[in-house]
Structure 1
Amino acid sequence: MRNIHIFVSRYLYNLNNQIFIERTSNNKHLNTINIRHIANSIRTHGTGIMNTTVNFTYQFLKKKFYIFSQFMYDEHIKSRLIKDIRFFREIKDQNDHKYPFERAEKFNRGIRKLGITPEGQSYLDQFRQLISQIGNAMGYVRMIRSGGLHCSSNAIRFVPDLEDIVNFEELVKEEGLAEETLKAARHLDSVLSDHTRNSAEGTEYFKMLVDVFAPEFRRPKNIHLRNFYIIVPPLTLNFVEHSISCKEKLNKKNKIGAAFTDDGFAMGVAYILKLLDQYQEFDSLHWFQSVREKYLKEMRAVAKQQNVQSTSQDEKLLQTMNLTQKRLDVYLQEFELLYFSLSSARIFFRADKTAAEENQEKKEKEEETKTSNGDLPDSTVSADPVVK
């Protein structure tokens, strides 16, 4: 828990299976962490560790968001993003409201020119890793919640009817039993009540981690963060290239850097877009649609060329075209996997609601609560007539 910064950098998250897989190891096998491990830990140490873990995650996210803000504020990055926003506004009507694939490629190339680390990483590679680590932290929080639900469900499985739980304290009072028995019954009622509540709903940790950071992200002083949605296309391109490279290494003898999953990136992008209330802005780019059209167009062109060259005896040319077709197919498949992961991650953060809609919903709930408690809503209070 305390070393969450080490954990998120050494483990990779899988969204669908809710599992963390060790990135690399000197041993023959990689370690994995799943819901069952978390549930066992909660059963051993108590449910208190869940809140402690979320607190550590909050402290970790605070540090990472400071680095995130610095990157977005960098003059080289900010000027490029503002230029891209202006460019998209100018050409969107001619380009069917789709962000051009070539523009994302150009951004990637431009960032590489700013310099690379001794490991061969560009600033965008490092930014992608930062977002993946933020997403891994959110995946960890999700796993904690699932582990808590799993633990509570196991603990309460012997209760016959969760809708109709007997009150043991009242039964003990009716029988007039000893004070110690009354205390034990009261304690049992409390435990059953906690487990019933936890197994029914669980704590909305994601909502808490959105509510705590969102106001700061949306402040006028952090206006530079509002450019984030336009950096997502080049980021996804960077991620897909990295992901394909990692998967290709699985087939090689030297497996350093090999990986087959990294859903922390999708989770991180979905979370940050929610904090900035920018789902609509990102959707307006129609980015994944643009990607799909680009690759399908290229694949059709290669297929057409293959048909023309099918009678040719040039085996090398045919082989090259087959490899090109395969490469395009791999890239398209990888982009679609990312699209599905991002769509799944967005569900956790209520992508269907904007910040304004959520606030309106919150107000309506508060008014309903007031009304049910017997208080009149402010709008129904009669005012004194104005005498002219």
Structure 2
Amino acid sequence: ALALLSLRPLRLTAEDIVDLKDQVELRLSRHFYDLAALAPQDAEAYARMRSVAWQRYGLDLLDGGLPAGSLAQGLDVIDVMRNVHLLATQYCYSLHQQFFTQASNQGEAKIRTITVEHLAASIRVHGYGVINTAVNYSVGFIKRKLEVVAEFLADESVKSRLLADKQWMQGRSCYTWARGVESAKIIRRLGAGRDGVSFLDKLRQVVSQIGNSLGYVRMVRTAGMRSMAGSLDFLEAAPWLGRRDEGPDGMTNEFLEAAESTGSDVAVKEAAHLADVAARSVRRCFEASTDHLNLLADVFTKALARPQGGGVAPRLFHLLVPVLGCCFLDALLFGRELLAKRAVTPTGAKGDAVLFDDGFAVGVAFVLRVFGLERDFQSLHWFQTEIADSDVAVGRAREAAGLPFQDSQRSAAQAAADRRALLSAELGHLAAAMEAASALFGAHAVESPAPEEPGPAADTGDDAAGD
């Protein structure tokens, strides 16, 4: 095949000339165009074939210029952006695998998922500029949720309990599990909403919603990089393209300068300018300046650093994290139990059937970063606490759903031991998730586990300081 393609044009008659390479290029270009028009979702595959044809056979195939498509597009990035509040409330985020799954309490047979591939395919259709718009939508949503967190912390009853916890921590090396459970019980007495969910659990949901919206921002940036990844080969072959310079606009225009130096016409100069813009866009997509999570954290941190931006109440948020963590682990275990039961038979219990919910860890890490309380939370050493069988009580989520603590076939002691093992395992997973989430904001929420020093016995939460 290579020998035939390398042949010179053949003269059949005085007027007829046949160029085998030109005929192959024409037929393949037409064939790829027709197939891409019939199945737009395969346009990317045909683009790869054109690249292979050029690299292996030297065939210069024409690009049909058709818009890209995908069968795996799923929810459009613009639809998700406009309904970011629904994404934050109805979906659960996976930190390491970067996808969302729908947390439904209706028992449907099918659930929706949102992956990076879905967003990348949507960005190819709408363009890279949609990323900044998606970030702006998320900023407004996060701002409103942070106001809810600050309002909850400003409540006098909540503040008094957190101040009591702060006084209780003096002289102790670790915030115990029992203390967190006891504080959760006291704060839950403040009341509940019309749906019967306590204000403490609503705050836990708000923190998870903040984390979910930040996870969406991270997924959008990853999808943008993935959509631009196909152009990296061209920049690696020409590392001088699209680089920053110390000029007036901070950018170089190699193609345009080369076109002007050769005295090219206007059309060539315009094409050269577009090539420079495209090269800069690809490089900008992978620069640290597009790390939106760090940028958001810096923006909100500076806003709260102003005299009118914060107060004493937000400085106590780190003491509320163990309380929220106890509620979160209880709700997570209950959600997994519902998911396991719905896989066998429909159940009428109220609650979200979930397998994971890393949005809580991301939200907590973000709020700690914004309030500047990372080291204060580390000093609690809450993740190093041990859960005793006596600390395990009926889960609040199970109690709200009207379900018993243990099955009739198991003893109470065995059920308590099993629940303690599950809570201990999930506490370790939460610590790892928070450490990974804190790394996204340029901080570390969890120190390396150190050997525990002998200290006072685990508190049951009934001392006078806590009451």
Could you tell me the TM-score, scaled by structure 1's length? Answer: 0.78
Q: Which amino acid aligns with 1:246?
A: G
Per the TM alignment, residue 174 of structure 1 is displaced from its structure 2 partner at its CA by 4.6
User: How many angstroms apart in 2 are the aligned matches of 1:296 and 1:339?
Assistant: 21
1:291-343: per-residue Cα shift (whole Å, max 9, x none)? xx3349999xxxxxxxxxxxxxxxx9995544333222111111111111111
Return the alpha-carbon distance in structure 2 between the equivalents of residues 318 and 212 of structure 1. 52
> For residues 210 and 278 of structure 1, what CA distance do their matches in structure 2 show?
13
1:234 and 2:326 matched: no
2:230 aligned with 1:154, yes or no?
A: yes
Match of 2:181 among 86, 105, 130: 105
Q: Give the superposition deviation at 1:45.
A: 1.2
Structure 1 Cα separation of the partners of residues 193 and 275 of structure 2? 59
Query: Is 1:17 aligned to 2:97, yes or no?
Result: yes
Q: Counterparts of 2:391 and 2:165 in 1: how far apart (Å)?
A: 24
Alignment of 1:299-378 (within 5 A): 320-352=412-444
Q: 1:208 aligns with which of 277, 280, 295?
A: 295
Q: What is the count of residue pairs matched by the alignment?
A: 330
Deviations 1:205-258 (A, max 9, x none): 112211221133345552211010001111101100000000000121236521
**2:103 aligned with 1:8, yes or no?**
no
Moved more, 184-193 or 265-274: 184-193
Residue equivalent to 1:259: 354
Q: Note the C-alpha offset of 1:59.
A: 1.0
Instruction: Look up the SS of the partner of 2:92 in the other structure.
Output: strand
1:163 maps to amino acid: P
Residue 380 (structure 2) aligned to one of 248, 262, 285: 285
* Distance across 2 between alignment mates of 1:323 and 1:254: 23
What runs of 5+ residues in structure 1 fail to find an aligned partner? 300-315, 354-388
For residues 298 and 118 of structure 1, the distance between their equivalents in structure 2, rounded to whole angstroms, comes to 30
Give me the whole-angstrom Cα distance separating, in 1, the residues matched to 2:267 and 2:286: 29
- The 3-state SS of whatever aligns with 2:93 is strand
Shift of 1:27: 5.0
Do residues 74 (structure 1) and 163 (structure 2) align? no
Q: Offset at 1:275?
A: 0.5
Q: Distance in 2 between matches of 1:202 and 1:115?
A: 44
1:161-213 Cα deviation digits (max 9, x unpaired): 25244933344345433211111111112211221232354602112211221
Aligned twin of 1:245: 334
Q: 1:327 to 1:187 in 2, by over 3 A?
A: same
The Cα shift of 1:13 comes to 0.5
1:352–1:132 Cα change, 3 Å: closer
- Look up the equivalent residue of 1:41 and give its one-letter code: S
Identity of aligned residues (%): 32
CA distance in 1, matches of 2:329, 2:444: 26
Residue identity in the other structure for 1:268:
G
Structure with higher RCO (Cα < 8 A, 6+ apart): 1
Cα RMSD, aligned residues only: 2.5
User: Which has the higher mean CA deviation after the structures are superposed, 144-153 or 249-258?
Assistant: 249-258
Letter in 2 for 1:325: A
**In structure 2, distance between residues paired with 1:281 and 1:219:** 21
> Does the residue aligned with 2:237 lie in a helix, a strand or coil?
coil
Deviation at residue 117 of structure 1 after TM alignment: 3.7
Aligned counterparts of 2:409 and 2:270: Cα–Cα separation in 1: 84
Counterpart of 1:334 in structure 2: which amino acid? Answer: E
CA contact (8 A) 1:217 1:225 kept: no
Contact 2:338 2:352 in 1 (8 A): yes
Q: CA deviation at 1:160?
A: 4.9
TM-aligned CA distance change 1:278 to 1:194, over 3 Å = same
1:179 corresponds in structure 2 to 266
Q: Secondary structure at the residue paired with 1:13?
A: strand
Q: Structure 1 stretch 52-61 or stretch 199-208: which is displaced more?
A: 199-208
User: Which entry has the higher C-alpha Rg, 1 or 2?
Assistant: 2
Q: Hey, which of these two has a bigger chunk of helix by percent? A: 1
- Structure 2 distance, partners of 1:114, 1:170, is 69
- Structure 1 range deviating more: 154-163 or 343-352: 154-163
2:192 matched residue in structure 1 = 116
Match of 1:29 among 110, 113, 122: 110
Gaps of 5+ in 2: 1-80, 243-253, 393-407, 446-467
Partner deviation per Cα, 1:322-372 (whole Å, 9 max, x = no partner): 43332221111111111111111010111159xxxxxxxxxxxxxxxxxxx
CA distance in 2, matches of 1:99, 1:123: 23
Letter in 2 for 1:204: D
Q: Answer yes or no: is the 8 Å Cα contact 1:295–1:332 preserved in 2.
A: no
Counterpart-to-counterpart distance in 1, 2:229 and 2:289: 11
Partners of 1:112 and 1:7 in 2: CA distance: 27
Distance 1:325 1:68 in 2: 34
Specify whether residues 240 and 27 from structure 1 end up closer, same or farther in structure 2 by C-alpha distance, changes over 3 A only: closer
